[in-house]
Amino acid sequence: MVPFLTFGAILSLAGSAVSQQPLYAQCGGNGWTGATTCVSGAVCTKLNDWYLQCLPGNAPPVSTTTPVPTNSGPSTTPTSLPPVATPPNMSPEWQAAYEKARVAVARLSLQDKVNLATGVGWQNGHCVGNTPAISPISFPGLCLQDSPLGVRFADLVSAFPAAINVAATFNRTLMRQRGEAMGDEFRGKGIHVALGPMMNLARVPAGGRNWEGFGSDPYLSGEGAYETIIGIQSHGVQANAKHYINNEQEHSRETSSSNVDDRTQHELYALPFLRSVQANVASVMCSYNQINGSFACENDKMLNGILKGEFGFPGYVMSDWAATHSTLSVNKGLDMTMPGDITFGSGTTYFGNSLVSAVQSGSVSQARIDDLAIRILAAWYLTKQDSGFPPVNFHAWNLNDPFNKHVNVQGDHKNIIREIGAASTVLLKNVGGTLPLKAPRSIGIIGNGAGPSSRGPNGYSDRGGTDGVLAMGWGSGTADFPYLITPLEAITTRARADGTIVSSTLSDTDLNAAATVAAGKDVAFVFITSNSGEGYITVEGHAGDRNNLLAWHGGDALVARVAATNSRTVVVVNSVGPIIMEPWINHPNVTAVVWSGLPGQEAGNSLTDILYGVYNPSGRLPYTIGKTENDYGARVLYTSGPQIVQMPYTEGLFIDYRYFDKNNIAPRFEYGFGLSYTTFQYSGLSVAGSADGGTAPSGPGSSLDPWLHEKVVTVTFTLANNGTVAGHEIPQLYIALPASTNSPPKSLKGFDSVYLTPGQSKTVTLELSRFDLSIWNVAAQRWQVPTGQTGILVGASSRDIRLTGSVTN
């Protein structure tokens, strides 16, 4: 039997192959006269019009005399090679994957293609989403599993810092390393698709799932998404960019319409998804909500127009769980329905036989069903899951089922978790040398958030409780903790080295106990929290979204009582997002505030590294902390009900710091803010180059255009550590577009994380592309560099600009 493949035209093997090419050798193409077959286990694969290569895989035995049947047969017999729908600017990796997928899809029946796209139904497989195996091509079916911070519903996995924390590091290396470690864990469990990263934009500060994403700036979110995807996919696991799009709150998420103008959509909400496409993301998840009155999973403009059109996304779009609303969504750009059934456990589906019938009746074209199958299989080839991928070896619905092989995938990931936990901790206030600690005689530790949960770290299903140290929010974006290091435990252990006496009270409401523990201690730590999550769980009256931005459990009163008693009070905050701290932030006895966010399983150790100066704080806020919730550009709409709730995004481009800047509202702590134990000096700004000239393309693939993304402006400056301790500074570059564009006063377009020892200085270089300096031209439907002067603002936060220059475009 001779492995034999065709590419558009039927090639025929002249005689029998005298030799077979080894794996990865050329086997055809322009002017090729050598052997056109590969050794067993490899397939001669067309990479482009001029080069064919032996790549891993198994080709079907095909008769050398009978041509492959053409598309005239009944729908259940294989058809000819489907046409290639390759958008311009497709990456070489996707191109190679597409060629393999076309070959495979040619061997599939209509039923097979539909099966590729149809989940088997809620809880009918071992994972939260499952597709069936397709035997003719040895496709094992896909296992899809939450979450963006680790493997959900599994044992012997790690609980990573939430995305909001890795965003606070402003450090691409750490973002990448976290993605790699998570990819390693998903792969080890046999999971094909990791359901993350999440990149909604924290439009409203109380939004329940904000912490699953990278904060409220589209550029930082895009970088977080990019690095996470590259990291996850480097281990051969498909990443999933979600939730596309405008899923910005939990209330009415399935019964609301986010009404967003085209410019805002491009410049804010869609931007991290474009960046995900640049990372070759395998899949995208469409969200529950509507956009302009049409559900995200059947929104032709968002899916076909922007994502698969302008952004040239070659992978597949899956629905959020039960977010599919029709069979004909397929024509609007939906490729896969998850978990498969219309509602959980309904036993009915919009895909499956309904989709087969739709193709047979012509309401979905053959070309579209081929396209959908190619996209799904190409993602599988892209991540090389066709060879050597481990089988699923855990059982999401029953960890005690014998199917669960209890594979320990944690490796040494606790180290990167601890490091990110420290690097994401934001020091907000530190007066009188309160921190770092210098062998204090006595420490008081106060508050429930310093200790263990009364039920153990996983005692509340999907973390739906606020009890003990808060290290992740609640909902589907969670993982089980293998263990959870509490601040009490970590500080107590570290304090022993100095012979420090540690006293504690873990009650949030026993204020007398708090005062007793705080009294007379060298330093008093008071822990407060604020939690949120996904709307299917209500915790202490918060139905996913927070009801307000106040600390939970009477945290303000607890701080007040401790501060009244101890003149070195350190407030430690574990929170999903901003809290209002006006009641105590200026209290003279509150001498330090440490923002610990949601640091994951090593919470206490990461915090202790900061408190004792093992890690010099370099975390920066990935959102603004306002003085009141009314200061923000948008807020949760708590309306709910069966009618579609209209959510006009009237603030347009002006969310978070963009709104504060535009309206001259003083925040308590601005976007990008964070202190260090040392000081840094900025000098010598130089801005070279220009984005002037030329016109960006429009249409399919235009947002990936290499000319658009060419770095054309180089910004350099000198950064010096003029303090006494080594550490990282996070220089940030904001642009100020010409006033005529009605753009935000400042928009983040660059950052770095630079390590400097005392007295050391370094030249920092940040580069800008035409795209970075563009706005979306709604009339022309293309990116455009505004004519005139664009300000280049470099500094230590969005409101601590140290150097100013400009570029003329």
Ligand X SMILES: *[C@@H]1O[C@H](CO)[C@@H](O)[C@H](O)[C@H]1NC(C)=O
Interaction between residue 767 and ligand X (CB under 6 A): no
> Pick from 732, 729, 428, 414: which is nearest to 600 by CA?
414
* Nearest residue to the partner ligand X, using Cβ: 173
- Nearer Cβ to ligand X (423/792): 423
Report, in Å, the least distance between residue 284 CB and ligand X: 15
**Cβ closer to ligand X: 53 or 618?**
618
When the beta carbons of 263 and 384 are compared against ligand X, the nearer one is 263
Nearer to ligand X, 111 or 589 (CB): 589
Residue choice 268, 291, 472, 793 for contact with ligand X (CB under 6 A): 291
Q: Could you tell me the sign of the dihedral formed by the alpha carbons of 525, 530, 534, 538, in that order?
A: positive
Active site residues: 320
Map residues 142-171 to x or -, x wherever contact with ligand X holds by CB under 6 A: -----------------------------x
Contact stretch for ligand X (CB under 6 A) within 481-489, 562-570, 708-716, 785-793: 562-570
Nearest to 113 by CA among 392, 383, 358: 358
Q: Does residue number 292 form part of the binding site for ligand X (CB under 6 A)? A: yes
Could you tell me the smallest distance in angstroms from the CB atom of residue 258 to ligand X? Answer: 9
Tell which one of 93, 155, 254, 261 touches ligand X (CB under 6 A).
261
Closer to ligand X by Cβ: residue 595 or 751: 751
User: Which spans in 473-587 are helix H?
Assistant: 487-496, 511-518, 555-563
For ligand X, the closer of residues 262 and 629 by Cβ is: 262
Rule CB under 6 A: choose which of 143, 302, 417, 528 binds ligand X.
302
Cβ atoms 162, 202 nearer than 8 A:
no
Stretch that binds ligand X, among 93-101, 387-395, 441-449, 748-756 (CB under 6 A): 748-756
Write out the binding residues for ligand X, residues 376-435 only, by CB under 6 A. Answer: 419, 423
Convert 595-656 into a string of H (helix), E (strand) and C (coil). Answer: ECCCCCCCHHHHHHHHHCCCCCCCCCCCCCECCCHHHCCCCCCCCCCCCCEEEECCCCCCCC
| Choices 297-305, 544-552, 700-708, 767-775; region in contact with ligand X by CB under 6 A | 297-305
Residue 80 touches ligand X, criterion: CB under 6 A: no
681 binds ligand X (CB under 6 A): yes
Residue whose token pair is 């601040």: 487
- Kindly provide the residue ranges of all beta strands, DSSP E only, lying in 722-798, ordered along the sequence: 727-729, 732-736, 747-751, 754-756, 761-769, 775-777, 782-784, 789-795
Question: Does residue 301 belong to the site contacting ligand X (CB under 6 A)?
Answer: yes
Q: How far is CA 323 from CA 31, 90, 197, 244, 367, in A?
A: 50, 28, 18, 12, 24
Q: Which of residues 587-646 bind ligand X (CB under 6 A)?
A: 588-589
Name which of 64 and 722 has its Cβ closer to ligand X: 722
496 token code pair: 């022993």
With binding defined as CB under 6 A, does residue 514 bind ligand X?
no
Q: Is 173 in the site for ligand X (CB under 6 A)?
A: yes
Torsion of CA 569, 574, 580, 583, to 10 degrees: -20
Residue number, 166 or 372, with CB nearest to ligand X: 166
Contact between 304 and ligand X by CB under 6 A: the answer reads no
Render 497-516 in DSSP notation, one character per residue: TTT-EEEEE--SS-HHHHHH
556 lines the binding site for ligand X (CB under 6 A): no
Instruction: Establish if 343 lies at the interface with ligand X (CB under 6 A).
Output: no
In the block, residue with structure tokens 């134990």: 677
Q: Based on the number of CB atoms within 10 Å of its own CB, is 510 exposed (0-12), middle (13-18) or buried (19 or more)?
A: middle
**Cβ(708)–Cβ(749) below 8 Å:** no
Q: Is the dihedral of CA 43, 236, 214, 339 positive or negative?
A: positive
Task: Check: CB of residue 530 under 8 Å from CB of residue 554.
Answer: no
Dig out the tokens for 16 from the structure: 């029998």
By CB under 6 A, tell whether 653 contacts ligand X: no
Site for ligand X contains 753 (CB under 6 A): yes
CB of 222: closest distance to ligand X in angstroms?
17
Q: Which is nearer to ligand X, 332 or 542 (CB)?
A: 332
Gap between the Cα atoms of 489 and 769, Å rounded? 48
Q: Is 567 a binder of ligand X (CB under 6 A)? A: yes
Binding ligand X by CB under 6 A: which of 58, 234, 640, 679? 679
In the chain, the N- to C-terminal Cα span, in Å, equals 63
Using the CB atoms, write b or e for 576-611: b if 16+ within 10 Å: bbbbbbeebbebebbbbbbbbbbbbbbbbbbbbbbb
User: Nearest distance from residue 184's CB to ligand X, in Å?
Assistant: 19
Shortest distance (Å) from residue 752 CB to ligand X: 6
With 0-12 CB in 10 A as exposed, 13-18 as middle and 19+ as buried, what is 262? middle
Which H helix or E strand runs over 47? Answer: strand 42-48
Stretch binding ligand X (CB under 6 A), from 273-281, 291-299, 350-358, 779-787: 291-299
Residues forming contacts to ligand X in the complex (CB under 6 A) are 171, 173-174, 261-262, 291-292, 299, 301-302, 419, 423, 563-567, 588-589, 679, 681, 722, 728, 752-753, 755
